[in-house]
Structure 1
Amino acid sequence: MLTIYGVYRSRATRTLWLAGELGLEFKHMPVIQARRLSDPLATDAPVNTLTPSYLAINPMGTIPCIDDDGMVLYESMAINLYLARKYSTPLAPADLVEDAQMMQWSFFSATEIETNALKISSTVAEGLANSEAGQTVIEVAARMLRRPFKVLEQHLSSTDYLVGNRFSVADINAAEVVRYAQGHPALFDANPSVKAWLERCQSRPAFRAMWDARNIEAA
């Protein structure tokens, strides 16, 4: 049995979305981030990323994490690439070239986009987007994202999806990173192919189901 650790309001959305796309049966363990708790080591604290029992599973104390019949992984991109490859569906790479391309776009998103996109997301989530300080953070982050977004724009101007012109695990991995920048619409207006691609990805039933579950989870 596959177990997925992590709350919906975390990077676990990437794996929970993929599981929905694949129609997987799994056990969900909603491990919460320790930083969201006043005392994560209290005896009545919910299972979190500092809970000793969870650290015994994932010594990094990060989410998501999976246990697939004893095989434990705790990096979201690796988790999704593994699950996509395990189940023979169009979401997985069809050959070695597609495998390399899916890894490229996954890691490109994580290394070139995520840090600055998260700055936009967190500034908006904290209600600071309209403050002078918040606007400065967003403007700097958006400026740093211009180049990687243009790379995506150029690629997506001639294809609907990142690899093989079909929806795949690469799109899930990248879309869940690019999503963090949606609090700055001007970035997407300047890159219409990226905007249209993200809308296609987020219109999928498995994404909507994951998002609905996220929305009912405590913030």
Structure 2
Amino acid sequence: MSLTIYGIAASRAVRPLWAAHELGLDFKHIELDYQGGGARAPDFLAINPNGHVPAVVDARPEGDVVVWESMACALYIARHHGVADGQGITPATPREDAEALRWSFWAMTETEADALTVLMHLFVMPPERRKPELAAAAERRLATPFRVIENHLAQQARAGQPFLAAARFTVADLCVASVLNWARPAKALMDANPLTHDWLRRCMARPAYLAVRENG
């Protein structure tokens, strides 16, 4: 089998790249920059007709498997290239699998748009283009979902499980942290949710994530 991941780390492609690094996979990385027009090139549109990165092509004996959408890519890699042994990021039980699915979809539907607004208008954009009022409104909206994950992490801590799905870091943490990390410039939001902020720091300090960021 041969795994190919399209996209750069400074994009949502960080999710499948991170999953592949966590699993120690030997894979091909095609650094397709979404800003350079490459995602609209005919050869890539044949892989993902939506024209977005990331995309994953998994060459298997029965034929190529193509996956789009960053969360789907990360979940696929964990499920089909990891081992469900209760040691790595792959869900090892139906409960862990359910947690990975529900929290990944939750992150996309409840937090991603506002977390990205915070990132762009508090950190990424040049100061003259930032609109602090947009970041402030996004931060207010994020207060509700952040209370949800804060309460869940408190329940997990009481059960001796300091991560979202288990006592160990899993693909559930990878997917959700890759989104909520965008909101870290919102200091008041982080201060109001100390368990979430600590969990984020632990996730983003993982060697696999740091390797992705360092290597692109």
TM-score normalised according to structure 2 size: 0.88
Q: Does the residue aligned with 1:91 lie in a helix, a strand or coil?
A: coil
Q: Could you tell me how far 1:213 is from its partner in structure 2?
A: 2.4
- State the AA in 2 paired with 1:62: H
Q: Percent identity?
A: 41
- What 5-or-longer segments of structure 2 have no aligned partner? none
How far apart are residue 61 of structure 1 and its match?
Answer: 1.0
* Pairing 1:21-32 to 2, within 5 Å after superposition: 21-32=22-33
How many Å apart are 1:186 and its aligned residue?
Answer: 1.5
Tell me, yes or no, if the aligned pair for 2:15 and 2:73 is still in contact at 8 Å. no
Matched letter for residue 49 of structure 2: P
> Equivalents in 2 of 1:150, 1:196: separation in Å?
14
Count of aligned pairs? 201
In the TM superposition, what whole-angstrom CA distance separates every residue of 1:123-171 from its partner, at most 9, and x where no partner exists?
221123x88x621011000001000001011111233100022100000
Deviations 1:73-127 (A, max 9, x none): 0111111111111121531112222211110001101110100000111222112
Q: Alignment RMSD, CA only?
A: 1.5
Cα contact 2:119–2:182 (8 A) shared by 1: yes
| SS of corresponding position for 2:131 | helix
Match of residue 68, structure 1, among 41, 53, 58: 58
**Counterpart of 2:26 in structure 1: which amino acid?**
E
1:106 aligns with 2:104: yes
Residue of structure 2 aligned with 1:206, choices 205, 208, 216: 208
Give me the whole-angstrom Cα distance separating, in 1, the residues matched to 2:94 and 2:153.
Answer: 21
Match of 1:80 among 70, 74, 84: 74
Aligned 1:5-154 pairs, distance under 5 A? 5-33=6-34, 36-37=35-36, 40=37, 48-69=38-59, 70-86=64-80, 87-89=82-84, 90-123=88-121, 124-128=123-127, 134-154=131-151
Structure 1: give runs of 5+ residues left out of the alignment.
Answer: 41-47, 215-219
**Aligned partners of 2:116, 2:209: CA distance in 1, in Å?**
20
2: CA distance, partners of 1:99 / 1:169: 9
Would you identify which runs of 4 or more consecutive aligned residues in structure 1 move more than 6 Å? none
The whole-number CA distance in structure 2 between the counterparts of 1:75 and 1:15 is 10
Structure-1 separation of matches of 2:179 and 2:90: 19
